[in-house]
Amino acid sequence: MGRLLTALSVLLVLHMASSYRLVCHMTNWAQYRPSSAKFTADDIDPFLCTHVIYALATINSFNQISPNEWNDEQQYIQLNHLKNVNPALKTLLSVGGSDNGLSPFIAMVANPEGRQAFIRSAISYLRTHNFDGLNLAWEYPGHNGSPQTDKERFTLLVTELSKAFEDDAKENRKTQLLLSANVASLRPTIDRAYEVNKIADPLDFLNVMTYDYHGHWEAATGHNSPLYRSSVDSGSHIHHNINSSISHWLALGAPAEKLLLGFATYGRTYRLTSGATGLGAPAKGPADAGPYTRTAGFWAYYEICDYTSSATAGWIPEQEVPYATYGSSWVGYDDMRSYSSKVEWMTGNNLGGAHVWTLDMDDFGGYFCAAGTYPLVNHLRMSMGFGPKPTTTPAPTTTRDPVADFCRGRPNGLYENVADKTTYFQCFQGNTYLHSCQPGLIYIDSCKCCDWP
């Protein structure tokens, strides 16, 4: 499926990587996907991400956190058991969704008593189920039946939660619970939903949802998560891109180190209506639903892998993202190359890290893309400068083997192995790690990637 990037494109020093967050979402509805696409907490690699967010719990009529699925509490146990394997892993519970089309936050934030009931419930529920924090998933204050006054009420909720978490930690001599929120990417929504300069301080980090910029609801093809605007964008669409969204958050006073850039593991699909196949081609509605996600309008990355094996793949240079077409189907998605471009942009803007939506739409089991388990998120992890996982061991040291000394004195990064082009070296803290390309590919140092000879 075209170029398979499996290497670092951005070389980051260790202290930068250690301050980064790689926050990964999992969804409790992915357990209902068929066959190899079924996903539960048992499928998570405990060393892949720094934080895992479990989506999604709700809020009941008593303003208390309530599970959504019959087996959520069993899933909590499985997820938090991963911290026995990786004690550095943090887990958060995401709360949100809708009830009859309305967010459960609307009724809860309407008065101080409702907010206090929710806060007490949150602390108790998170402590009982061994979570490290809470993630607010309200789409969005001041929208979809939420009155404009909810902009200020959201600020009150965030401020009161943060204070209560601080008090709980002091009173019970426990580590303070984390507080994060999934927040909008489109400028009009941001302006209507948030008092940015007031919510940024009490939140530990903000997951900016830098995806769903375009989709089958539009009459022409557009990319799900472009880095920059394109030449076909006009009107408000000139701001439907990562660069514009993050710039707006920063301009409104959000600290760069608290903003996490969203990385999608899915693409948005269209049904083409003419012979045109590029960006901005006429379209009407979505392509057929994927065989595993079974939802019109988007395909998981593992479904895209199968599609691109016979499709015509393309690259949008001005937006630094790929797309593919086959027949009348069109999909704009992310791959390892676009992830690398976004990490470079993210690093250049000193953001606090990345968040992934979602683990369960990457090829988590390695069944579909012939690129190992979690090919996208593993590539993201390496591109952000995180070191090898504990299961990876340095090359063996022998008096006759110069490989073990290869990285001595070299900067962290990737290097070619001149003795075997099907492998490459990763240098990290002076240690040498040997990696192999996928069968048939060789390492090319000019792009820091494995590609066809």
Q: Residue 450: pLDDT band by 50, 70, 90 thresholds?
A: low
CA distances from 1 to 269, 318, 370 (A): 17, 21, 10
Predicted TM-score of the model (pTM): 0.89
Q: Residue 16: pLDDT band by 50, 70, 90 thresholds?
A: very low
Q: Is the confidence at residue 11, as pLDDT, over 50?
A: no
| CATH number, domain 14-264+335-383, options 3.20.20.80, 1.10.10.10, 3.90.76.10, 3.30.720.200 | 3.20.20.80
Q: Omega into 358 within 30° of 0, i.e. cis? A: yes
Selecting among 139, 152, 166, 416, the annotated active-site residue is 139
Q: Is the confidence at residue 49, as pLDDT, over 50?
A: yes
Q: Residue 14: pLDDT band by 50, 70, 90 thresholds?
A: very low
139 labelled catalytic: yes
Give the mean model confidence (pLDDT) for residues 226-243.
97
Segments of 230-383 assigned E as strands: 259-264, 266-271, 298-300, 312-316, 321-326, 329-332, 353-357
Domain coordinates in residue numbering, the chain:
14-264+335-383, 402-451
Helix, strand, or coil here: 93? strand
Q: Is residue 329 within 8 Å of 308, Cβ to Cβ?
A: no
Q: Is the confidence at residue 448, as pLDDT, over 80?
A: no
Q: Residue 447: pLDDT band by 50, 70, 90 thresholds?
A: low
Q: Residue 10: pLDDT band by 50, 70, 90 thresholds?
A: very low
CA distance 391 to 373: 14
Give the mean model confidence (pLDDT) for residues 34-63.
97
Greatest pairwise CA separation for the chain in angstroms: 73
For residue 348, the cross-strand partners are none
Q: Is the confidence at residue 75, as pLDDT, over 60?
A: yes
CA distances from 241 to 219, 295, 312, 344 (A): 18, 24, 24, 16
Least confident of 373-377, 389-393, 398-402: 398-402
Q: Is the confidence at residue 399, as pLDDT, over 50?
A: no
Each residue of 51-65: pLDDT tens digit?
A: 999 999 999 999 999
Work out whether strand 413-416 and strand 423-428 pair parallel, antiparallel, or are unpaired: antiparallel
Q: Is residue 18 within 8 Å of 449, Cβ to Cβ?
A: no
For residue 33, the cross-strand partners are none
**385 C-beta neighbours (distance < 10 Å), count:** 22
Can you read off the two tokens belonging to residue 290? 């994927």
CA distance 346 to 270: 28
Segments of 35-124 assigned E as strands: 51-59, 65-66, 90-96
End-to-end CA distance of the chain: 14
Residue 229, pLDDT score: 98
Each residue of 406-423: pLDDT tens digit?
A: 888 887 777 899 999 998
Q: Residue 88: pLDDT band by 50, 70, 90 thresholds?
A: very high
Helix, strand, or coil here: 91? strand
Each residue of 422-433: pLDDT tens digit?
A: 988 888 778 888
Each residue of 116-136: pLDDT tens digit?
A: 999 999 999 999 999 999 999
Can you read off the two tokens belonging to residue 95? 């709360």
Considering the domain 402-451 in this protein, what is its CATH number? 2.170.140.10
Which has more confidence, 440 or 451?
440
